[in-house]
Structure formats: C-alpha cells, structure tokens
Amino acid sequence: MITIKALIEIVGFPEAHVNETMEKVVEKLEKENGIRIINKKIGKAEKVKEMFSSFADLELDMDDIENLMSFCFNYLPSSVEIQDVTELTIKTKNLTGSLNDMLGKIHEYNHLLTNIHAENIMLKQKLGQSPE
C-alpha cells in the first residue's frame, strides 16, 4: 500500500464546464481499481486571465507502484508526494509493463501533437500566412 498526496488541476472555460469536468474526473478516480480516495478537496473554478482554473487536492491509497504510475499517466496530476514509504521494491516484470504503458501514452501524445502541428501549418498556408 502506498499513500500519496496529489494535486490535479484543470484550466478551461466556461466556468461551469471546468467545475463539471473536475467533478467527473474525481468520480472516475473513485471507481478506479487499486486506488482509494482518503481525503479530497475540490476547489470551485476561479477566473485566471481569460480562463477558469479548478483543482482537486487529494490523499490517495494505491495498492502498488503500478497503480501509482497508471494514476500519474491517466490523470496527469500537477504534483505527487509519496507519504508513507521511503523505499519501494518492484518486480522487473511489473516495472517493464508500467514503463511500456508510459511509453505507449507518450507516443500517443506525440502522434497527436504531430498531427495538430501539421494541420496548423496547412491552415496557415490556406490563410496565406507563413508557417512558423
């Protein structure tokens, strides 16, 4: 068992959408296998420049390091602090699986960014702007 503190932040608009999305994220987290919410504090969206920002300050119990890594890559917390252990032991097979899951997610994000960048260049060309 690993206890952590984590901070999840959402930025967007309109305000109601940011609040609803944060509630949905925490509801989804409550249903995750191997993860239990001990404490949660959800902040209402506040205006930051032109957007709204909300946060969830969480204390969570994780069954193992694999759940922790999965949580980090699926929920992208702003910060994580391990509370109750100073050393972790992990089986090579489990670490290999977690690392490959992480790499798969990074490759997925890279693919999306590459496509968005290419579409952005094409749109700029259609508008007669110089792609930067």
Q: Same domain, yes or no, for 67 and 105?
A: no
Query: Do 55 and 3 have their domain in common?
Result: yes
Task: Read off the pTM.
Answer: 0.76
Sheet with 35-48: strands ordered across:
35-48, 51-62, 2-12, 79-82
Same domain? For 62 and 115 the reply is no
Does 79 lie in the same domain as 114? no
Residues 3 and 52 in one domain: yes
Which residues pair with residue 4 across a beta bridge? 60, 82
Residues 37 and 65 grouped into a single domain: yes
Q: Which residues constitute the domain of residue 104?
A: 90-132
Tell whether 75 and 13 lie within a shared domain.
yes
Which residue numbers in the chain have pLDDT < 70?
131-132
State how far the alpha carbon of 24 is from the alpha carbons of 71, 73, 83, 118, in Å.
Answer: 15, 17, 26, 32
Residue 51: count of CB within 10 angstroms of its CB: 15
pLDDT, position 132: 65
Domain count, the chain: 2
